[in-house]
């Protein structure tokens, strides 16, 4: 499924099977998760995607061929391919353990063709073994919703009372990890979204309610997953002195002006950008121990536009996943 120009629907196309280059593997895609970032790419909210582009960066598949020098995975090995597709290894960010900020990083399903396809090529250094015990469909949302959510959760430090703003794919995973770590979870959704609020309570949130209404008590940290700038002052108002608000999305509408009082008291406002390979290793090791159970809605690959539309409308419970072989895996 190909994006020709932002704003246009994806087009079903027959493409040439790519050759894995040096250090790359060719992966037969079983499933690919649908991420909100895919929506931002398709809707033109992220600048200068590769065009035409195969979107998708939560790939679970099997290695079918190795390019020159690639020997990390045996043929047939199940791998996950996430958003971070390549880094330079030599800039000041890469050299200081912050490859997520690499100036020359390339991202799967954005600057590199991704997983809304039957095959994809990936740099083997940025592929990960998928934890056993997860089938392909269940595993796909771990690869971005899970990884980025995990990085955002780490940036909240040891916050006990955690607010999650927007209860979609990422929050439904983070809530489980946070409960596992003994944190208290408060879920903030669109006003009146009782389905999302009930879903959050099922996953261990002790309270769920309107994101722009009052919080039931002070929070120690908040993570904003929804791409709505007006949530930033709301979350700052909800956190206690010294608390952190993490913006976890790659795109957000403008943040309205707010009084300095909301930031005063050593409150911290920050974003989380991308992931490092270390985040992926840590989270994929942790997920089965929680154990994180993902809730997914599946679509055949050729229904990618429907999946994106339902995500845009806030109609997905948990995560959306495209299946290359419908009903398979």
What is the enclosing helix (H) or strand (E) of 64? strand 59-66
- Which of 27, 35, 174, 187: binder of Zn ion (CB under 5 A)? 35
Nearer to Zn ion, 142 or 159 (CB): 142
- Which of 94, 142, 211, 296: binder of Zn ion (CB under 5 A)? 94
C-alpha 188: how far from chain center: 18
Min dist CB 48 to Zn ion, Å, is 18
Min dist CB 37 to Zn ion, Å, is 4
DSSP string of 37-80, one letter each residue: HHHHHHTT-SS---SSB-----EEEEEEEE-TT--SS-TT-EEE
Segment interacting with Zn ion, rule: CB under 5 A, options 33-41, 157-165, 275-283, 305-313: 33-41
Instruction: Name the one residue in this structure whose structure tokens are 């971005």.
Output: 144
Nearer to Zn ion, 70 or 143 (CB): 143
Segment interacting with Zn ion, rule: CB under 5 A, options 30-38, 133-141, 174-182, 291-299: 30-38
Let me know: does 220 contact 197? Beta carbons within 8 Å.
no
Let me know: does 18 contact 26? Beta carbons within 8 Å.
yes
- Which of 28, 77, 91, 198: binder of Zn ion (CB under 5 A)? 91
Min dist CB 189 to Zn ion, Å, is 20
Give, as ranges, the residues between 204 and 263 that touch Zn ion (CB under 5 A).
none
CA distance 136 to 145: 15
The 207-210 sheet, strands edge to edge? 207-210, 184-189, 161-165, 219-224, 239-247, 268-271
CA distance 212 to 233: 9
**Interaction of residue 169 with Zn ion, rule CB under 5 A:** no
**Interaction of residue 88 with Zn ion, rule CB under 5 A:** yes
With CB under 5 A as the rule, give the number of residues binding Zn ion. 8
Nearer to Zn ion, 102 or 159 (CB): 102
Nearer to Zn ion, 210 or 297 (CB): 297
**Interaction of residue 37 with Zn ion, rule CB under 5 A:** yes
Segment interacting with Zn ion, rule: CB under 5 A, options 18-26, 34-42, 208-216, 232-240: 34-42
Let me know: does 120 contact 81? Beta carbons within 8 Å.
yes
- The percent of the chain in helix, strand and coil, each rounded to the nearest 5, is 30, 25, 45
**Interaction of residue 325 with Zn ion, rule CB under 5 A:** no
C-alpha 118: how far from chain center: 21
**Interaction of residue 32 with Zn ion, rule CB under 5 A:** no
- Which of 10, 102, 164, 275: binder of Zn ion (CB under 5 A)? 102
Interface pattern 124-163 for Zn ion (x via CB under 5 A): --------------------x-------------------
Nearer to Zn ion, 145 or 187 (CB): 145
According to DSSP, residue 326 is labeled T
Closest CA to 81 of 41, 40, 24, 16: 24
Closest CA to 221 of 202, 246, 200, 187: 246
Nearer to Zn ion, 208 or 224 (CB): 224
Q: What is the dihedral of CA 246, 249, 255, 258, to 10 degrees?
A: -10
Nearer to Zn ion, 159 or 319 (CB): 319
Which parts of this chain interact with Zn ion (CB under 5 A)? 35, 37, 87-88, 91, 94, 102, 144
């Amino acid at each position: 499924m190909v994006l020709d120009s932002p704003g246009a629907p994806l087009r079903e196309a027959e493409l040439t099977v790519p050759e894995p280059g040096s250090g790359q593997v060719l992966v037969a895609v079983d499933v690919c998760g649908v991420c909100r970032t895919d929506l931002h790419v398709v809707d033109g909210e992220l600048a200068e995607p590769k065009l035409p582009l195969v979107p998708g960066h939560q790939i679970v598949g099997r290695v079918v061929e190795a390019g020159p020098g690639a020997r990390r995975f045996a043929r047939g090995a199940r791998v996950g391919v996430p958003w971070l597709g390549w880094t330079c290894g030599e800039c000041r960010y890469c050299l200081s353990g912050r490859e997520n900020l690499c100036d020359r990083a390339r991202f799967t399903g954005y600057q590199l063709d991704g997983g809304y396809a039957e095959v994809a090529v990936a740099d083997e250094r940025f592929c990960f073994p998928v934890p056993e015990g997860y089938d392909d469909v269940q595993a796909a949302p771990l690869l971005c919703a899970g990884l980025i959510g995990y990085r955002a959760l780490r940036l909240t430090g040891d916050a006990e009372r955690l607010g999650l703003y927007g209860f979609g794919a990422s929050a439904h995973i983070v809530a489980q990890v946070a409960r596992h770590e003994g944190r208290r979870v408060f879920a903030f959704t669109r006003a009146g979204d009782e389905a999302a609020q009930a879903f959050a309570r099922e996953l261990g949130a002790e309270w769920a309610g309107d994101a722009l209404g009052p919080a039931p008590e002070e929070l120690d940290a908040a993570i904003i997953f929804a791409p709505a700038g007006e949530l930033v002052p709301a979350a700052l108002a909800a956190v206690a002195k010294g608390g952190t608000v993490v913006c976890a999305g790659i795109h957000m509408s403008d943040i309205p002006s707010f009084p300095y009082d909301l930031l005063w008291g050593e409150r911290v406002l920050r974003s989380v950008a991308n992931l490092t390979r270390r985040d992926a290793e840590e989270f994929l090791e942790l997920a089965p121990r929680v154990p994180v159970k993902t809730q997914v809605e599946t679509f055949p690959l050729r229904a990618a536009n429907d999946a994106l539309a339902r995500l845009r409308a806030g109609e997905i419970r948990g995560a959306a996943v495209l299946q290359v072989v419908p009903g398979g895996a």
